[in-house]
Amino acid sequence: MMRRVLWLETEHPMQLVLGLTIWSLWFVTAYGGLSVVCALAPPAPEQGALTGINLVLGGLTLVTLGFLAWMTQRCMAAARRKRGRLRYMSALAGGLYLFSTVSVAFVGLPLLMLPPCL
Amino acid sequence: MSDTQAPGKHERSESAQLHRELEVVWRNPRGWRALTVVNHSTLGLRFMATGLAFFLIGGVLAMLIRAQLALPSQAFMTPDIYHQITTMHGTVMMFLFAIPVLEGLAIYLIPKMLGTRDLLCPRLTAFGYWCYLFGGIILLSSMALEMAPDSGWFMYTPLSSGEYSPGKGSDFWLLGITFVEISALSAGVELTVSILRTRADGMALHRMPLFAWYILVMALMIVVGFPPLIFGSVLLELERAAGMPFFIVEQGGDPILWQHLFWLFGHPEVYIIFLPAAGIVSTLLPVFARRPIVGYGWAVAAVIITGFISFGLWVHHMFTVGIPHLAQAFFSAASMLVAVPTAIQVFVWLATLWLGRPRMSLPMLWILGFLVIFVCGGLTGVMLALVPFDWQVHDTHFVVAHMHYVLVGGMFFPLMAGFVYWLPLVSGRMPSERLGRLGFWLTFLGFNLTFLIMHWTGLLGMPRRVYTYDSAMGWDIYNLISSVGGFMLSAGIAMVLLDLALHWRFGRPAPPNPWGADTLEWGLSMPPAPYNFASLPTIKSRHPLWDNPALGDEMARGEHALADASHGRREILGGEVLTGRVRERIHIPSNSWWPLFAALVLAVVCISLLVRLYPLALGAFLVAVAMLLRWAWENGGHPIAAPLGDDEPTSPPLHSRTRGGPARFTMGVSLIADGAFFHSLLFGWFYLWSVSPQWQLPEQSPLDPMLLIGAGIAFALGMLWLERRLRRLYAGDETRLALAFYLIAALGGLHVLLLVALLWQADLAPTDNAHDAVLVVSLAYLLVHGLLATLLMALQGRRAALGYVGVRLPMEPGVVALFWRYQLGIYAILAVSLGVLPRVIGGGA
Amino acid sequence: MLDPSGPAARDIAFVWWGMLTFFTLVFGVVVALWLAAFRRHEHRERSEGEVRRLSRRWIIGGGLLLPGVTILVLLVFGVPVGQRMLTLPLPGGEDPRVIEVIGHQWWWEVRYPDTGDGEVVTANQLVMPVGEPVDFHVSAGDVIHAFWIPRLGGKIDMLPGRVNRIRLQADQPGVFGGQCAEFCGTQHAHMKLYVEAMPPADFDTWLSARQAPANVGDDEQHQVAREAFAQHCAQCHRVAGVSQATVGPDLSDVGSRPTLGAGVMAMEDGAIARWLAVHQRLKPGNLMPVHDQLDAETLEDLGNWLETLNP
């Protein structure tokens, strides 16, 4: 039987910071990865926005988006089920996950439009 | 204690007796001994008064700037003096006014709002205050000596480095600011833990006053945001004093690293200033709208989001340094995103007003002023987040105008609202409406006259930080208007301060809860007693005073918890983080000389570094460490704190009789700050490695792998042993505890010795190239932590031998174990980053 | 900046006016709503559900949708504006002209690489052709400066040890001011760049005049001045054909420059001699030592000779 992992519960305070922490990690990875690639092996500017680094970072963005969206859905569903403090914490966590999801999508948008290293 | 009968004579004398007892335990001494005070109300007020004094100095500097720029080609000041004054204006306002005043307000209010008697670490509050005061005085003394820093408040290298600023100015800045930041960090740690762990019984997170949420996020942001700047300052000072070339391109460093570290702190700092101010708005507005805030959850979410997103914006201060456009777009998008939580708050406030029955009064006027100015500043902020527009107006007066709109509008106006609002609590008297209104309008109009027009001056191309300009540029009239407005603004502020001063004598006495507020601080006597509450309430909703207007009297009569001080301890309640349910009785230390002495000795360290008397600095530093350890010695079961007795309270128990309690939290939050410092170090290493143009990685890593592994193993063994011994202690076995602790400490000592050998054998040339300099700093960081871990463990052995640690007093070794885990973690990470990765990826260019 | 003369600056100015209009509107509406909320009074009691609905409407509408849509529009339309200033390959495949600019405390070094025989070097003046994109490769010799010609486009930092690139274009001939935009020390205020855009033909003439072998005069008249220069100035300044030092500004064509001291004073007869005599008063703290050891006559000779350096 699977043991219940306490901090994965939707009302755990961890959920209040996890979503935005994931956003931060994604952000740092995207910025750091881009900087390192541009410093070491910049792709030719002729390629436009369709370079390896854009694709890799885009893929990472999609994975992150997927996870955050799933957590949003979990927390929102839990918020509808629960009452009182548990409901409050789940709803708050859900809102924060939702914002993180949108943030990843929004900040990741330029990956589609811009060449990486100029 | 609680008596349900109508208050009779007997009961009144009983409550008087309680207040007398509490007074004896919590009293602030007078005369010289007032320097030993650790009480949060006194220290909060000291913070605010000192901050206002620095504010006046910063304001005079601002007026000098406006006087110089009022007319073209003025010779009022020489350029060197002008640059000193602009640098100091920014520095004083940011570091010596804005942050400390808000910390002071939080220190003063948070325990009162949370329904407790003091912050968790009172001596730390006092220590923070003294560090702030001494650091501020050292920084300002540079102006009296005419050697103030003059490289701008952001201290960009290489302009601020030894070659281009050979004077002492930059040293004053780096050392003074680092000293002041110790104070910010200690306030950050202490506020975080106090908010999480010392709330009134039943005050679950979702019943906490919104102000506490804002301060919680602010405090955590300080904890994470300040270490990068401290780290940067340490590096720059090492470069200036010891010649380690972290920021010098020719030797493998990179000046842009400074900008990253500075803004990694600098941008969150803007929100560190804004959030508490917004917290004031969120507290006052519902009171004057006469209804609970609408969308409490939305506001909390907005605050948390702001706290996070603000760490993803720092590069928007660096859009012109030539980083890839795509990376700029990330930061541009993140910078725009921060508009969302801010807009949520603005509309939460609007909805509250809309659905309430608002009434006008002086604090509300300041809030309206805040709204107008802040919304305007926020909108120009969104404009600036757009990269191409920023390229055009970056470093022009447009940015100066934007920044003052955000900072003055977003911080000063709410602060004034808060001052007026909480004044009756502090003094028992009401401020004057008429003088206050006049002051407000002068300030508001003067501010807009100064800075609205300044946007335009910037758009016309006037750059920042020029000490003069040519009439041919066509900026004359706009600058003159700004200067006139600036003087009007100062007249307004003078009037406001006059009102504050006069009210102390002429204000009419305030009735209880004069504004009809809902939060606990208004249930106190005005001014509050040093112990705040004679008994600590149980909370069932977000609006305790609206639910039960008589709560204040009940608490004063001692009808609630902890209404007993006959034991002579300063006691508060510790609760669960989430629910606020009581877990333990926390006994906190009383007045002490140690904070003042330790800060004084640190001031000696600071000054001897300035005049480059390194042996004296080292000696004073060791004395300071000894004092801090001595201070920590008087804890837990020590006779001065709470020695073991036969009639120990059991439900709830004293916190030093539990396995960690709030002390673990304090250590944990401190380690978060330390971890932020460590991450800056790691960032510096990888940044220089990957980006610095002339970085040289040696062919072969200079670190000996055997020593590297050996030091790690020694420490890991100590760690494992400590964990096992702790489990046995918790199981009730304290045989030969002291011996075990001493032996574990010896393993720590071996770790330190091997580290010294590693450093010795590596034969580094830190003044030669940045690579070796970073290696030395990293190893020194490990060494300091290793030494501290060893020392703390050895002291635990001594305490176990003396009976301050044992089965009945199991708290402390668990706290030390946290520090050991931290050291093991960073050791592993650094060993991989410095020792293994260069071998794997390879040296060369 | 509000009087754009190049495509990049024009786009930015357009974006600015657009943002100004829309944000003024937003600002007005928000403030008006707040004031309205103050004036109105909630008389009837609302049910909890009603309050919840109303507040959601406010918060979601104003707090989420309004800023959300605004920043999305800004990001999608605003970011491409910056593309113009990137040094992307030109559609025709040819390489744009490159001008190197190097910032010093407190003057500008301007170099035209790849111009036939050896490069052309000048200082504190930048001449560029009209109607074609020019790539500026900028860096710094000491501290960080920033390169900014407000009427042509955005700014870019000049860093020691790195080269940054920005593409600008002037649409019509004219004189534009340039200015150091990153605080760089005492005389940051007096670090101005005289920028002139001229038709390509004139530009080529200007450039080739500076490629011709230097004419430093061999007449008797300036013999004293040349000797004084060799003795007192040549350690820092270069004059093609006379000295090679690069500490201070290159003076090879100083006589043809419109300003002196990076924009401190206009060039006219006798200006150089005056500058040499009192430059520390005109530009306090500049890095050229005072010339007290030279008498006024020598300074005048020097000034007269330098003014003849006009290819």
Show the tokens assigned to B819.
């520090």
What confidence tier does A1 reach under pLDDT thresholds 50, 70, 90? very low
Q: Which of B171, B102, B158, B126 is nearest to B33 (CA)?
A: B126
Indicate whether A92 belongs to any domain.
yes
- Chain A residues with CB inside 8 Å of B300's CB? 92
* Residue C273 pLDDT greater than 80, yes or no: yes
What confidence tier does B40 reach under pLDDT thresholds 50, 70, 90? very high
What's the rounded mean pLDDT across residues C211-238? 82
What's the rounded mean pLDDT across residues C210-237? 82
Q: Report pLDDT for C42.
A: 65
* Residue B104 pLDDT greater than 70, yes or no: yes
Length of chain A: 118
Q: Report pLDDT for A5.
A: 59
What's the rounded mean pLDDT across residues A19-23? 89
Q: Report pLDDT for B844.
A: 42
pLDDT in tens, B135-171: 999 999 999 998 899 998 999 989 999 889 988 899 9
Determine the 3-state secondary structure of C111 from DSSP.
Answer: strand
Contact yes or no for B455/B401 (Cβ under 8 A): yes
CA distance C11 to chain A (A): 18
ipTM score: 0.94
Q: Is A109 on the interface with C (CB under 8 A)?
A: yes
Collect all residues with Cβ–Cβ distance below 8 Å to C48 and sequence separation of at least 6.
none
Query: Looking up tokens 């042509």, which residue turns up?
Result: C152
Cα separations (Å) of C84 from B122, C8, C154, C169?
58, 6, 10, 10
pLDDT in tens, C105-131: 989 999 998 766 667 889 999 999 999
To 10 degrees, what angle do helices B770-802 and B614-633 make?
30
Q: Is C282 on the interface with B (CB under 8 A)?
A: no
What's the rounded mean pLDDT across residues B598-615? 94
Q: Where in the sequence is the domain holding A70, given as residue range(s)?
A: 15-32+47-113
pLDDT above 90: percentage of residues in chain B:
73
Q: Report pLDDT for A64.
A: 93
CA separation for the pair B737, B753 (Å, rounded): 24
What confidence tier does A46 reach under pLDDT thresholds 50, 70, 90? confident
* Residue B441 pLDDT greater than 80, yes or no: yes
> What are the φ and ψ backbone dihedral angles of B89, each rounded to 5 degrees?
-60, -50
Neighboring chains of C (3 or more beta-carbon pairs < 8 A): A, B
- Chain B residues with CB inside 8 Å of A44's CB? none
- Domains in chain A, number: 1
* Residue B3 pLDDT greater than 80, yes or no: no
Class of domain C97-211: mainly beta
Indicate whether A94 belongs to any domain.
yes
Check CB contact under 8 Å for A118 and C71: no
**CB-closest option in B304, B333, B691 to A16:** B304
Chosen from C56, C59, C81, C88 to mutate, greatest number of chain A CBs within 10 A: C88
Indicate whether A1 belongs to any domain.
no
Q: Which of residues C11 and B604 earns the better pLDDT score?
A: B604
What confidence tier does B639 reach under pLDDT thresholds 50, 70, 90? confident
Q: Report pLDDT for C117.
A: 64
- Chain A residues with CB inside 8 Å of B260's CB? none
Check CB contact under 8 Å for A118 and C88: yes
Contact yes or no for B6/B553 (Cβ under 8 A): no
**Strand duo C243-244 + C174-180: pairing:** unpaired
Check CB contact under 8 Å for A110 and B340: no
pLDDT in tens, B567-581: 888 999 999 988 899
Which of B315-319, B669-673, B830-834, C93-97 is the least confident region? Answer: C93-97
pLDDT in tens, B241-287: 999 999 999 898 999 999 999 999 999 999 999 999 999 999 999 99
What confidence tier does B1 reach under pLDDT thresholds 50, 70, 90? very low
Q: Which residue of A has its CA nearest to C79?
A: A110
User: C-alpha angle B350/B353/B356, rounded to 5°?
Assistant: 145
pLDDT in tens, B370-385: 999 999 999 999 999 8
Q: Which of residues B840 and C19 earns the better pLDDT score?
A: C19
pLDDT in tens, B771-783: 999 999 999 999 9
CA distance C30 to chain B (A): 8
Q: Report pLDDT for B4.
A: 44
Q: Which of B234, B86, B238, B95 is nearest to B150 (CA)?
A: B86
What pTM value is reported for the model?
Answer: 0.94
- Chain C residues with CB inside 8 Å of A105's CB? none
Averaged pLDDT score across all residues of chain C:
87
Neighboring chains of B (3 or more beta-carbon pairs < 8 A): A, C
Check CB contact under 8 Å for C70 and B354: no
Q: Report pLDDT for C54.
A: 86
CA separation for the pair B18, B26 (Å, rounded): 12
What's the rounded mean pLDDT across residues B797-802? 94
Q: Is A112 on the interface with B (CB under 8 A)?
A: no
- Chain B residues with CB inside 8 Å of C153's CB? 391-392
Check CB contact under 8 Å for A46 and C76: no
Q: Report pLDDT for B802.
A: 93
Q: Which of residues B644 and B828 earns the better pLDDT score?
A: B828
**Domains of chain B, first to last:** 696-845 (1.20.120.80)
What confidence tier does B313 reach under pLDDT thresholds 50, 70, 90? confident
Length of chain C: 311
Averaged pLDDT score across all residues of chain B:
91
What confidence tier does B551 reach under pLDDT thresholds 50, 70, 90? very high
pLDDT in tens, B678-736: 999 999 999 998 888 888 888 888 899 999 999 999 999 999 999 999 999 999 998 89
Q: Which of residues B162 and B830 earns the better pLDDT score?
A: B830
Check CB contact under 8 Å for B394 and C70: no
Q: Is A106 on the interface with C (CB under 8 A)?
A: yes
Indicate whether A6 belongs to any domain.
no
Q: Which residue of C has its CA nearest to A118?
A: C86
CA distance C25 to chain B (A): 11
Q: DSSP code of C147?
A: E
CATH, domain C220-308, list 1.10.10.10, 2.60.40.420, 3.10.450.50, 2.20.25.90: 2.60.40.420
What's the rounded mean pLDDT across residues B342-350? 93
Q: Report pLDDT for C217.
A: 67
